[in-house]
Amino acid sequence: MPYKRTEQKFNGKINVCEIGAGDAAISIGGEKTLPFLGDEGFKTAVGIAISDAPEDWADCFKTIYGDDLKNPAAFAKAAVEKSGADFILVKLASADPNGADNSVENCVATAVAVEAAVKVPVVIEGCKNAEKDAKLLEAVAKALENKNVVLFSAVEDNYKTIGAAGAMAYGQKVSAESAVDINLAKQLNILLTQLGVKSQDIVMDVGSAAAGYGFEYVASTMDRIRLAGLGQNDESLQMPIITDVSSDSWSVKESVFTEAEAPEWGSLEARGIGMEVTTAAACVVGGSNAIIVRHPESAKTIKSMIAGLIG
């Protein structure tokens, strides 16, 4: 019998989401098949992470960035230049009420300075305290009106404020964070849509884990979400996925133990990059449309992997 090539046909399509404004704008999503099986929508965007409180970052970043680490605008500019990233993520970690508890005004000023310093789209993360993030990301959305930034991220406890302020009042994109819970991922998209946020203005932060630390669950979550969006044409799951692997990758023993603590493991910087690249690569082939890393070398490596896969 002659060989008959059968292709799985999907009737759904992932939304295209544009982030950034003017010449800086990029778009993510738009694919009609599982990752890298088709022609469209697989130019995964690679982002570089910075923080307004990088004190606990590994020493190698002090070598890379020097005094720029203390000035978010300079930090942002250097990070984009050194990594060649398509976009930047700024973590407003100092806002944490259980940490430095920096004021909303100060953090907004940081976000505005970062946005002005770079020519790439900006993703703005709060401090992962739902109550503070609601106030903070709402104020950020207002201050950066029409810059089309991504508010990273709305959770069940604050989606109303962030969704209404960000995506509806000030023309931003809103990310919905579901921490590796597929049912919640769908639920948050439904809730945001009911609120009045357009599907095209939503991206999904479905969560991650460092490779080797329960990543199988991340992989199956991404698979299930993509199969629902593409195969079952589930419109509540057709939003592009954005994944930040930087914090997870740099907080496991392989990327935390110093060379003095684990001399047999070699360079901490190389280990951190290794963890980050492994995790990011797995997310990219799992379906992330935008991936965020911390080390400029990780960004370059993932960019070249994506270019190689697209061919």
Partner 1 sequence: MSKFMVIGERIHCISPAIRQAFADRNPDPILLRAKEQLTAGADYLDLNIGPAERDGEDLMQWGVKLLQENFDNVPLALDTANMKAIEAGIKVYNRAKGKPIVNSADAGDRIGYLDLAAANDAMCIALCSKEGVPADNDERIMYCSELLERGMEHGMEPTDMLFDPLFIVIKGMQDKLMDVLEAIQMITDMGLLTTGGLSNVSNGAPKHIRPLLDSATIAMAMQCGFSSAIVNPCDRRLMETVVACDIIKNNILYADSVLEF
- Taking CA 19 as the corner, what is the angle to CA 15 and CA 24, rounded to the nearest 5 degrees? 135
> Among 1, 3, 194, 260, which residue sits at the site for partner 1 (rule: CB under 8 A)?
194
Q: Kind of pairing, strands 87-91 and 45-51? A: parallel
Closest CA to 124 of 192, 180, 50: 50
**Of residues 84 and 231, the one with the C-beta less far from partner 1:** 231
**Of residues 192 and 245, the one with the C-beta less far from partner 1:** 192
Contacts with partner 1 in 8-27 (CB under 8 A)? 11
**Of residues 93 and 191, the one with the C-beta less far from partner 1:** 191
Rounded-to-integer distance, Cα 114 and Cα 75, Å: 8
Do 110 and 136 meet the contact criterion of CB atoms below 8 Å apart? no
Rounded to a whole number of angstroms, the minimum distance from the CB of residue 204 to partner 1 is: 13
Closest CA to 276 of 208, 182, 194: 208
> Among 1, 98, 183, 308, which residue sits at the site for partner 1 (rule: CB under 8 A)?
183
193 binds partner 1 (CB under 8 A): yes
223 binds partner 1 (CB under 8 A): no
Q: Which stretch binds partner 1 (CB under 8 A): 33-41, 50-58, 169-177, 220-228?
A: 220-228
Closest CA to 239 of 282, 166, 293, 175: 175
97 to each of 8, 132, 158, 305, how far by Cα in Å?
A: 49, 7, 16, 39
**Contact partners, residue 28, CB within 8 Å, separation at least 6:** 16, 17, 19, 44, 45, 203, 240, 242, 289, 290
Tokens of 277: 């690249």
Rounded to a whole number of angstroms, the minimum distance from the CB of residue 232 to partner 1 is: 5
Rounded to a whole number of angstroms, the minimum distance from the CB of residue 294 to partner 1 is: 32
184 binds partner 1 (CB under 8 A): yes
6 binds partner 1 (CB under 8 A): no
Rounded to a whole number of angstroms, the minimum distance from the CB of residue 193 to partner 1 is: 7
CA atoms within 13 A on the CB side of 25: 13
231 binds partner 1 (CB under 8 A): yes
Rounded to a whole number of angstroms, the minimum distance from the CB of residue 238 to partner 1 is: 11
Which amino acid is located at 188 in the chain? L
Rounded to a whole number of angstroms, the minimum distance from the CB of residue 225 to partner 1 is: 8
Rounded to a whole number of angstroms, the minimum distance from the CB of residue 128 to partner 1 is: 23
235 binds partner 1 (CB under 8 A): yes
| Coil/strand/helix, residue 215 | helix
Do 280 and 215 meet the contact criterion of CB atoms below 8 Å apart? no
Rounded to a whole number of angstroms, the minimum distance from the CB of residue 191 to partner 1 is: 6
> What is the CB neighbour count within 10 angstroms for residue 183?
9
96 binds partner 1 (CB under 8 A): no
* Per-residue contact flags (x/-) with partner 1 for residues 130 to 169, judged by CB under 8 A: ----------------------------------------
123 binds partner 1 (CB under 8 A): no
- Which residues of the shown chain bind partner 1 in the complex (CB under 8 A)? 11, 182-184, 186-187, 190-191, 193-194, 224-225, 228, 231-232, 234-237
